[in-house]
Amino acid sequence: MSIDAAFSDFPVLETKRLRLRQIQPGDAEAIFAIRADEQVREAYGQEPYQSLAEAHAMTERVQASYLRNKDLFWGITRKENDTVIGSCTLWNFDTESLRCELGYELNRAYWRQGIISEAVAAVLAYGFTELGLHRIEAVVSGGNASSQKLLLKLGFTREGSLRQRSRFRGTFEDELYFGLLRDEWAKSV
C-alpha cells in the first residue's frame, strides 16, 4: 500500500485492548474532555479548550484534512467502549522521502496504563508496514518528560533540540526532535 492509498478508506487499527478509528463529529464531547484539561494541554504548550464549539471545529478540521490527504487522525477507544479516550496522528507526510510526523494525546484519567504505548506501537507498525514509510518523526516540548520517555521506549532516537524555540505562557521552551527508521523499528518488534 502507498501513502495515498491510506486516504481512500480510513484504516481502523486494533490492538489487544484498543480500537483506533476515525474521529467523528459525535466525538466532540470526548475530545473536549481531553483538550479542556490543563495538564494535558500544558504538555503540548497549548492552552486548554474553553468551549465545546472548539472541539466541534477540531473534529471538522480533522475530517477535512483527511479528505485532502493531509493526515491520519485516529481516535483511541477501548474495545469494550467506543468513547474516544485519546488520539494518535500521522501527519505532515513527505511522500518523496517516505516520512511523516507522529502526534498523540490521552485523557488524563487513562495515563500510566500503557494505553498510549499500545496505540502508538500500532500506528508505527501501520506506518512502516502498510504505508511503507522509511522514517517517522516526533517533536516534543523540552518539559514533556513522559513523552520523551515513551519515544525512547518505542525505539526512537533523540536527534537534537532547538533551544527555546517555542513560547508558552511567557516562557520559552526547547523543542526536542526524535526519529525512528523502519530498520530500527523492525529490529525492535
Residue ranges per structural domain of the chain: 4-188
Alpha carbons 43 and 47: distance in angstroms, whole number:
10
Query: Cβ distance 115 to 57 under 8 Å?
Result: no
So what's the pLDDT on residue 42? 78
* 135-141 vs 157-168, strand pairing mode: unpaired
So what's the pLDDT on residue 160? 94
So what's the pLDDT on residue 66? 93
Query: Cβ distance 111 to 145 under 8 Å?
Result: no
So what's the pLDDT on residue 189? 81
Q: State pTM to two decimals.
A: 0.93
So what's the pLDDT on residue 13? 97
Q: What are phi and psi of 159, to 5 degrees?
A: -100, -15
The pLDDT tens digits of the residues spanning 107-148 come to: 999 999 999 999 999 999 999 999 999 999 999 988 888 999
Name the stretches of the chain with pLDDT < 50.
Answer: none
So what's the pLDDT on residue 1? 63
Q: Which residue has cell 507522529?
A: 102
Alpha carbons 34 and 93: distance in angstroms, whole number:
25
**Residues near 128 by Cβ (< 8 Å), separated by ≥ 6?**
136, 182, 185, 186
The residue among 57, 54, 45 whose CA lies nearest residue 173 is 45
CATH number of 4-188: 3.40.630.30
The pLDDT tens digits of the residues spanning 19-32 come to: 999 999 999 999 99
Alpha helices in 1-107 (DSSP H): 28-35, 38-42, 52-67
The residue among 17, 5, 32, 137 whose CA lies nearest residue 76 is 17
Alpha carbons 157 and 155: distance in angstroms, whole number:
7
Reading the block at residue 137, the C-alpha cell is 518523526
